[in-house]
Amino acid sequence: EDQVTQSPEALRLQEGESSSLNCSYTVSGLRGLFWYRQDPGKGPEFLFTLYSAGEEKEKERLKATLTKKESFLHITAPKPEDSATYLCAVGDSGAGSYQLTFGKGTKLSVIP
């Protein structure tokens, strides 16, 4: 059974204080690892897809990295508008190719 565990559950940062969110996963064969951002009362917004260990992707203050067992979402010099819940999901080549397994998310609060 695919498993996705995100840590920490919640993170409070001062504006400008860099940190990382963790997503550890167990799948039989990774089709892709996905990061989403979710604002309160909204649907998840796609950020990144990573496909193989060593891959990195960046967007503004966010950088996602991938190893064989986990992914990190690094946030550099965050701003209050980065406050949101960040979701991680994996696609498993051994399961139905259209199914993603989601973690419970990390709620990030950036304090001015």
Partner 1 sequence: NAGVTQTPKFQVLKTGQSMTLQCAQDMNHNSMYWYRQDPGMGLRLIYYSASEGTTDKGEVPNGYNVSRLNKREFSLRLESAAPSQTSVYFCASSSPGTDTQYFGPGTRLTVL
Which residues would be at the binding site for partner 1 (CB under 8 A)? Answer: 4, 31-32, 34, 36, 41-46, 49, 87, 89, 91, 96-105
Query: Least distance to partner 1 from the beta carbon of 102, Å?
Result: 4
Comparing CB distances to partner 1, the nearer of 22 and 76 is: 22
Query: Least distance to partner 1 from the beta carbon of 98, Å?
Result: 5
Q: Is 81 helix (H, G, I), strand (E, B) or coil?
A: helix
Query: Least distance to partner 1 from the beta carbon of 53, Å?
Result: 17
Comparing CB distances to partner 1, the nearer of 19 and 101 is: 101
Query: Least distance to partner 1 from the beta carbon of 33, Å?
Result: 10
Contact in structure between 37 and 43 (CB atoms under 8 Å): no
Comparing CB distances to partner 1, the nearer of 14 and 97 is: 97
Residue that is written with structure tokens 């989601």 in the block: 102
Sign of CA dihedral 29, 65, 47, 50: negative
Sign of CA dihedral 93, 99, 101, 102: positive
Contact in structure between 67 and 59 (CB atoms under 8 Å): no
